[in-house]
Structure 1
Amino acid sequence: MGSGTSGGEGEHINRVSVRSLDGECGIRIDDRIERRHCEIRTDRPSDPTPADETQFRYPVDTAVQLTAGRLTFEGFSRTFVHDGPDVTEVEYFESVSFDDGHYTLELSGPVKLYVELEGAIDVQTTVTEMDVSLSEAASVRIGARSYHEQPAATVTTTDDPVDVMAAVSTFGSAMKTTGSERSYPTLRGHPPTLQRGSSLSVPNGLQPPETDVHIEVPESLFETLAVAPLAYYLGAEVVPGPDPQLVVDGEPFSLEGDGGFERTVERTLKRTFFLDCVVRTAGPRSIPLYERRAVESSLDIDLSDLYGRSGAERLAAYNTVDYDAISSFVPTWKLTAHVDPVGSSLEVLPFLVDDLAVVRSPSQLSVAGDDPFAQNADPFEASTPDDGEFVRSTTRSPSDSSATPNQHVQPDQTDSLEQTWVGEGTPLGASKAIPEAFRNRLDREPRDGDIEIVVVCNDEEMLEERDVAAEVYGSREEFPIDVTFYEDLTTDRLALVLESDVDFFHYIGHVDEGGFECSDGLLDADSVGNIDLDIFFLNACRSYRQGRRLIEKGAISGVVTLDDVINSGAVRIGKTLAKLLNYGFPLRSALNIARERSIVGTQYLVIGDGNADIAQTQSGVPVLGTVSSANGEYEVTLDTFTTSGFGIGSQFRPAIEGNEMVYLCPGTLPTFEVRESALERYFSTGVFPVLLDGEFTWTDRLRSDN
C-alpha cells in the first residue's frame, strides 16, 4: 500500500509504503529509498486503507485511513498541533488537552508525518514517545512524506562560464518557498543535476523564482562556482558583470569585502541563512529558539516585522547586519568544498549546493616524500607494544599508482564540520567527491525489507574487529538490520558478495595492489560485474584503488585507506566506526570522530557521497557529548551533526532537565550544568558517544542499569 512521486520528470515510484504491524495493533511506515521506518501503535487492530493525499495541508507521499481511540508514536523529536492558524508545540513530559475540533498533528522523525483527526484529544509526551487519546474511537487519516529529494531534471551545459551561469541560475527553481522558512531543510528541494555537453539546454519549468535579486560575477568558472550555493538559496539569477556583486531590488552590494571575494560570499550566505532561521520563529510557530534570544536585542532590525516580507526586503535588511555581531551564533557550517574550477567539477556542483556547502577554489599543499603521513606520526605511540604488527608491511614506491594515489593534496582546513575535495589528487583531511557516486545514488531503486549488512573477515589476526561488528551491528532492537558474516572467502564468493544487493559491506583483511586477498588468491574489483552494494568500509592497507573501482562500478560511498595501517589502530578505527554508523552517524561525520581514536586515523578517508548512512538515529540528529565532572556536578556540552533527513537549519532540543531552549543544528550547544541524577536520566534517552573526562565511551555503558 502507498504511493508517491519521485519529482523526477514525471516518474512515479512507490517510495513510501504502509502496512499493518505483525503481531501488534498498529501500522509500520517505510521510506523505501532512504531506508527509514517508523511504527504507530493503536489500541485496536488496524486495517489501513488508502486515503486522499491531496486533502492534507502539506504535501505527503502516501496517506492511509484507520480507526483508533489511541495512537502511540515512537522516535519523533518534535510535535506540533495545528488548530486552524494556531500552532501549539507539545513539550517533553507535557500533557495537553484540546477541546472538540479538527486538528493536524505534525511530527518530525524518520519520516515526516501529518495526522488528521477530529474530536477532543489529549496529547502526552515523553522523550521517546507520544500518546494521543481521542474522546472516542474515530477515523484517523495519516499522511507520510519521505525526506528524500530527487532532482527534478538535468541541465546540459558547456564549460563556457556564461552557460554555466545560466545552468546555476536554475538551481533556485528547487526552493519550495522564498520566505524565511526556506531555512528549514525540508523546504529546500534538490537542485537540477548538471551534465556537460556541446551546447546549453535547460528543460522547461526550471526558471528561478521572481525575487528581485540577482548576482553579477565576471565570466569565469572560479566566481560562478563560488556563488552557486548563494544563488540557489536566494533563488537568484547569475549573470555576467565586471565586478562580483549582489543586486537587491536594484541596489548593488559588493561581494569583494574584507577577506576577499570567497570570504564575502561565504559570510553573505551564512548571514542570510542564519537570520532567516531567526525570523521564521516570528511566524505562527512560537519556538523558544536560543539563537534568537541571544542576538535579538543587539540587532538594529525588527525580526518580527521582517516575517512575511519578500526575500528582497529581508535580504536588504540582513545586509545591514555586521556579520561579526552574529558569527558566534551561526550554526557550525556542515561542509566546505574545495572545488577545482574546471569543467570536470560541474557534475558534482548540484550535490554540494544541496548541502549548502561553502564552495572554495582549492588552495592545496602537495605532500612529497615516501610517506605522506610521516608529518602526523607520533613516534612514541607508534612504538608501543599495543600497536602490534602492520596489517600489510610490503613497501612500494609512491610513484606506483596501483599501490597508492599519485598525488596527495592537503586542502586548507576551515571551521566547517566536514571538508571535501573535488579535483585531481587524493586529499588528506578531507573526503574525495567522485561524480559517479552521486549518479549511483540517484539510480537506486526503492527496496523493501531490513537493512542488509555483510561483514567479511579474511584475516584471522583481526577477528577482534569481526567480533565487535557482530556485537554492534543489529544491536538495536527497534531497528531491523540483517547481518551476515563470512570468513576466509574465495575470490568467487567475495565477487558474489560485491555484486549483491547489500546496504553496507564491511571488509576486514588485506588488500594488495592486485586486489582483495582471499583464501585462493586476489580479487580485483575490475574483474567484478556491476556493484549493487551501497556503502563499504575497506579496513585494509592501501584500499583506495579498490574502493575507487567499487564506486566507478556502482557503489555510493566508502571508507578506504591510503597507506599501511597497523592492526591495533585498524581495529580501533573499525570498532568506533561500526558503532557510530549503527547509531545513525553519516559516513563522513562518523569517520571524523573515529579518526581521533587512533594514531592511524589520518590514513583513512571517505570517497564518494559522504552523506551516506546505514541507520536512522534515535533522537533525530546524531549527538556527541562532552562531559566533565567536579564535586558531584557535571558540565555537559553537546555537538550536533546533520543527516540526510535533518540537514543544516534543523532544530534540536536536548531532553536535559531544566532546558526549555531549542537550538539550531549542526553545532556546539552551550554548556549545561547538571547533577548526576539528571545526567543519568538524559543518558537513558538514547545511545550516543560521550567524551567523559577525556575518555571516549557510550551512554549505554555509563547507565546504572548496566
Structure 2
Amino acid sequence: MEPQFDSLDGRSGVEIRDPIEKVRFELHTPSAVEPTPATAESFYYPVDSAVTVETDEIVFPILASIYVYSADGEFLQDFTPNSNTELTIEPGEKYYQLNGTPIVIYLSFSSAVTIRKSETEIRLSFDGSTAVRIGARSYHESPEGTITVSGSVRDTMCALSTFGSALKMTTPDRAHPTLRGHPPLVELGDEFHVPESIDPPDTGVRLELPLLHEKVYPAASLAYYLGADVVPTSGVSKLVAGDFEYSLESDGTYEETLHRLLRQTAFLDCLVRTEGIVKDELYERNQLEPRLDWDFADVYDSSLPEQLETYLSVPFETISEYVPTWTLTTDVTPLEKHAAVLPFLAYDLSQIRSAPLRSSKQSISQPQMFDDFYRTGFSRDEKREFESADLLRGASERTDAGKIVRPDPVETTEHAWVGNGFPLGANKLTVEALKRRFDYSAPNKSGISIHVVCNDAEMSDEIVDELYGFRELVDYDITIDYNRTVAELREIIESPIDLFHYVGHVDENGFLCVDGSLDAQTLDDVGIKAFFLNACSSYEQGMALIGRGSMGGVVTLDDVANKTATRVGRTFASLLNNGFQLRTALSIARKETVSGYRYITLGNGGRPLMQPEGGVPSWTSVSDMGGEKYDVSVETFLDIRCGFGSTFTMNVLGTSARNLVSNGIEFEEVGTDKLKQFWKLERQPAVIDGQVCWNPIRDLN
C-alpha cells in the first residue's frame, strides 16, 4: 500500500494520501496541476511512490523546517522557520525534505528557488515553470497486516521472522527511524497464517534459539532490526550471518548479550550510515573514527553478514561512552498470549527480558521504603515530608499487597511490564492500549487541555491553584472543578480532554463524589486521552479507564502526601505540555520527591499528548559560572516520532555536527544573550542552579 497522489478538489495543488497510516497532506500551487507518475527508483532517497508536476511555486501549508541535500545525498543546508525568513538557493539538482509532516515527502528539481516564510506557511518560488518531482514514503507507524499464531513457540519464531518486512532498507541506513516501519501485528488463532502482503527480506542472517518462549521473546527487537530469520536449535543459541557465527551465551547472560548486540549494531549503523543516503556530519563518528580501524565507505558497501562481523569484532567498551542511553526495557511474562505485545516492543527497539511466571508480590512497607530510598540524595526537608503522616492523599487503608510486583531494576530511561500485577516503578502495558497508538497522534498545537477535579475537602483552593498556578507562563487550557457529583464526574470523564487530573479519594466503589461513588468499570466510553489520579491505590480505576478508551495515565500504589501530589502532578503536566511522552514525563517528575516512586504509568506510556516545538523533547541544566557565563547541559529524549537514530543540533549554542538523540551535549561558558536566544527558539523546561524553571528566560533574569 503506497502513498497516492491526486489533484486537489476545491483549490489548486496536490493531495498525498497514505493508506497505511490513514493520513493526508496537501501541497498548494498557484494554478491547477496534474500529477503524472514518476519512478520511485529514480529518487536518491527511498520513496514508495512519486509523481511529477509543472509549476512555478509550491506552498507548504505549515511552518516546518526543510533540509536541502545534493543530488548524491550530501547535506547542504536547512531552512528553519524559527531562525530563517528567506533563503535563495542556486540552480542545480537537489533534494528538499519537508519535516513535520505525517508523510515523508521529498521534492527534487534543478531550478533556482527562493524559500520564504509567512505566518502560517512556507513558500517555494522557482525561476519560472519547473518540473518538480514529488516522492512520498509512509512513516509506516501502523502495521501492514496481522499474523496469526497458534501459540506454539515455532509459530512465534515464524512470526518474528516476518518483522523485517517493515524495514525500508537493510543497509546501515535503517538506523534512520523513518526507514523502520511497524512490524505486523500478532494475534492468537487456530493456525499460523501470514498475509501475502507481508514479504520479509532475505538478509542472510538468522538467530538460532531454543524452543522456549522465555528464550524467544527477548530476541524480538534484534530479529526485527536485523531482518533475521528465527529458527529452533537444540544446541547453543547463536547469531549466524553467512559464514560468521556469534554465541549468545558465551559473554554475559543470554538476555544481556542480545541487548548488547542490539545496541552495538544499531549504534555502529548510525556511524556507518553517514556514507549512505544522508551524508551528514555526526559528532559520535567524529569522536570514534580514530579508535575504529575502518574504511567507513567499505563497511557501508559490504554485505550485512560482513558488517556484523566487523561490528562485533569491536569490544563494546571501545564505543560504550558514545552509545546513547537506551530508552526502554520491558519485562514480559513469557505466556502464549503475550506474543501479541512483541511487535510494539520490537518497533520501540525495547530491551526485552523474560519475567518469572511467579513474580515476587509484596507490600510497600515503611521500613522497606526507608531502606530503598534513604540512600538517595534528597534533602532533610523532603525526607521529613516523607516521614510525616499528615495530609495524606487518599484513604487510610493500606495497599493490597497481593497485586504489587517488584521487577528487577533497569539501566534504561524507562521501564515497562507485561504481566499480572502492578509493577513498582514501571509502566504496566496492555495490548489494547498499545493498539490505540494507531488511532491517536499528538496534535500540532500550542498547548494541551487539562481538566482538574478536586473532590477532597482537605485540599484547599490555594493548594490546587498551586498545582497549575503558573499557567500564565504556559499554554494550558485549564478547567478546575470542586466537589463534583457522580453525574458530573461521569460527563467529564466521557469528554474529549487531553489530561484529566483527579484529586480526591478512591475506595472499593470507585471515585468518591459528593453524592456517592463513580466506578469507572460502569462507564460505556471514556473520552479522556490521559489521566493523573492523585488518590490512594487508584490503579484499579486507572485500568478501568484504559479498558474503556483512554490511552494511558498515571496512578498511585499507596498513600501520597499532598505536597508530593502537588509537586509530581505539576511537573508531570508541564512535561506533557512540552511534548514529553507519558512514561518519560513520569520518570522525570517522580524524581522531584522521595516518595515519587509510588506513582506508576498504566497503558501506552510511550505516547505524547502534543508535539515538542523543537522536534525533540529536551531538558536543559544550567549552572551560573559568574560574569554572565553559564555551563549548559542539554539532555534529549526519544519518543514515538523521534526513534533511535534521530539526530539534533544546537546551532545557536555553537555546534555544527549533529548528535544522536538520547546522548547529552554540554557547553561551557555560554553567554546570557546566547542562552536566551536558544530558549526563544526551543521552548523547554530547565534547571537553573538546581531549581526547576518553566519560564527559564524570565528566571534567568
Q: Determine if contact 2:583/2:605 at 8 Å carries over to the other structure.
A: yes
Residue 300 of structure 1: how far off its partner (Å)? 2.5
Give the 3 Å change call, closer, same or farther, for CA 201–592 of structure 1 in structure 2.
same
1:341-360, CA deviations, whole angstroms, 9 ceiling, x for partnerless residues? 22232221111111001111
The Cα of 1:267 is off from its aligned counterpart by: 1.1
TM-score w.r.t. structure 1 length? 0.84
Query: Letter of the aligned partner of 1:644 in structure 2?
Result: I
2:430 is matched with: 434
Q: Deviations over 1:397-444 (max 9, x none)?
A: 444xxxxx6232222222211111112221112111122212333456
Kindly provide the CA deviation profile for residues 291-316 of structure 1, in whole angstroms up to 9, marking residues without a partner as x: 00111111133212122332222112
Greater shift in the superposed pair: 485-494 or 294-303:
485-494
1:245 aligns with 2:246: no
Question: Given residue 432 of structure 1, which amino acid in structure 2 is its aligned partner?
Answer: K
**Aligned-partner Cα distance in 2 for 1:35–1:212:** 33
Residue 369 of structure 2 corresponds to residue 376 of structure 1:
no
Which residue number in structure 1 is paired with residue 274 of structure 2?
281
Structure 1 residue 470, shift from structure 2 partner:
7.8
Of the structure 1 ranges 514-523 and 503-512, higher mean CA displacement relative to structure 2 is found in 503-512
- Partner of residue 105, structure 1: 96
Q: What is the rounded CA distance, in whole Å, between the counterparts of 1:32 and 1:455 in structure 2?
A: 34
Residues 23-56 of structure 1 deviation map (CA, whole Å, 9 limit, x = unaligned): xx9999999999999999x9xx968878568677
Q: 2:630 corresponds to which residue?
A: 634
- 1:702–1:121 Cα change, 3 Å: same
2:511–2:519 contact (8 Å) kept in structure 1: yes
**Structure 1 residue 653 and structure 2 residue 649: aligned?**
yes
**CA-CA distance at 1:320 after TM superposition:** 1.2
The Cα of 1:519 is off from its aligned counterpart by 2.8
Aligned partner (choices 191, 194, 204) of residue 202 of structure 1? 194
Query: What are the equivalent positions in structure 2 for 1:124-203 lying under 5 Å apart?
Result: 132=124, 134-135=126-127, 147=139, 149-203=141-195
Aligned-residue offset at 1:158: 2.9
1:607 equivalent to 2:608? Answer no
Distance of 1:116 and 1:387 partners within structure 2:
65
Provide the rounded CA distance (Å) in 2 between the counterparts of 1:31 and 1:535: 27
Q: 1:511-550 to 2 correspondence within 5 Å?
A: 511-550=506-545
CA distance in 2, matches of 1:446, 1:277: 27
Q: Secondary structure at 2:537's aligned position in 1? A: coil
Output one character per residue of 1:115-154: Cα deviation in whole Å (capped at 9) or x when no partner: 455621245899x998755446879787776746111111
1:390 — aligned with what?
391
Quick check: 1:262 aligned with 2:255? yes
Distance 2:444 2:257 in 1: 46
CA distance in 2, matches of 1:33, 1:577: 33
Q: Which residue pairs with 1:232 in the alignment?
A: 224
1:676 counterpart (665, 672, 677): 672
- Hey, what's the Cα distance between the residues in 1 that align with 2:686 and 2:439? 37
User: How far apart are the structure 2 equivalents of 1:116 and 1:572?
Assistant: 50
Q: Helix, strand or coil for the counterpart of 1:304?
A: helix
Q: How does 1:475-554 map to 2 (within 5 A)?
A: 475-476=474-475, 486-554=481-549
Distance in 1 between residues matched to 2:277 and 2:255, nearest whole Å: 36
The answer (yes or no) to whether the contact 2:88–2:113 under 8 Å persists in 1 is yes
Amino acid at match of 2:68: F
Residues 39 and 50, structure 2, Cα contact 8 Å, conserved in 1: no
In the aligned structure 2, how far is the partner of 1:392 from the partner of 1:257? 50
SS in 1 for 2:67: strand
Structure 1 residues 470 and 436: alpha-carbon distance in aligned structure 2, compared to 1, 3 A threshold: farther
Greater CA drift, 49-58 or 499-508: 49-58
Unpaired runs of 5+ residues, structure 1, are 400-404
Structure-1 residue corresponding to 2:338: 345
CA distance 1:357–1:247, shift in 2 (3 Å): same
Name 1:211's counterpart in structure 2. Answer: 203
Q: Distance in 2 between matches of 1:20 and 1:440?
A: 33
Alpha carbons of 1:144 and 1:628: their partners in 2 closer, same or farther (altered >3 Å)?
farther
Secondary structure of residue in 1 paired with 2:91: strand
Query: What SS does the corresponding residue of 1:660 show, helix, strand or coil?
Result: coil
**Which one is further off, 328-337 or 197-206?**
197-206
Separation in structure 2 between the aligned mates of residue 181 and residue 569 of structure 1, nearest angstrom: 45
Instruction: State the AA in 2 paired with 1:590.
Output: A
**SS, match of residue 141 in structure 2:** coil
Q: Give the deviation of 1:524 after TM superposition.
A: 0.2
Q: Deviations over 1:275-302 (max 9, x none)?
A: 1101110125331100001111111332
What is the aligned length? Answer: 679
CA contact (8 A) 1:36 1:110 kept: no
CA drift of 1:652 comes to 0.6
Cα distance 1:596–1:451, how it changes in 2: closer, same or farther (>3 A)?
closer
1:79 corresponding residue in structure 2: 67
Q: List runs of 5+ in structure 2 lacking aligned partners.
A: none
Q: Trace 1:27-42 onto structure 2 (pairs within 5 A).
A: none
| Distance in 2 (alpha carbons) for counterparts of 1:50 and 1:391 | 66
Code of the aligned partner of 1:438: L
Match of 1:593 among 558, 574, 588: 588
Change in Cα spacing, 1:198 to 1:673, as seen in structure 2 (3 Å) is: farther
Percent identity over paired residues: 35
SS in 2 for 1:607: strand
Aligned in 2, Cα 1:294/1:491: closer, same or farther, shift over 3 Å?
same
Structure 2 CA distance for aligned equivalents of residues 237 and 63 of structure 1: 35
- Contact 2:140–2:181 at 8 Å: present in 1 too? no
Kindly provide the amino acid, as one letter, of the partner of residue 195 in structure 1.
Answer: E
Judging changes above 3 Å, is the alpha-carbon distance between structure 1 residues 669 and 110 closer, same or farther for their aligned structure 2 residues? farther
| Alpha-carbon separation, structure 1, partners of 2:135 and 2:297 | 32
What does the per-residue CA deviation read over 1:202-240, in whole Å, with 9 as the maximum and x for residues that have no partner? 222434311111010111111101111111100001111
CA distance in 2, matches of 1:448, 1:75: 11
- For residues 631-686 of structure 1, what are the alpha-carbon distances to aligned partners after superposition, in whole Å with 9 as ceiling and x for unaligned? 33321111110122111110010233321121011222244442222222212212
Contact 1:88 1:285 survives alignment (8 Å): no
CA RMSD after TM alignment: 4.2
- The aligned residue for residue 327 of structure 1 is 320
Q: TM-score, normalised by structure 2?
A: 0.85
Indicate the larger mover: 313-322 or 132-141: 132-141
Q: Which segment is superposed worse, 693-702 or 236-245? A: 693-702
CA–CA separation in structure 2 for the residues paired with 1:451 and 1:49: 36
- Does the 8 Å contact 2:330/2:417 carry over to 1? yes
Deviations 1:243-287 (A, max 9, x none): 110001133211113212111111111111011101110125331
Deviation at 1:466, TM superposition (A): 5.4
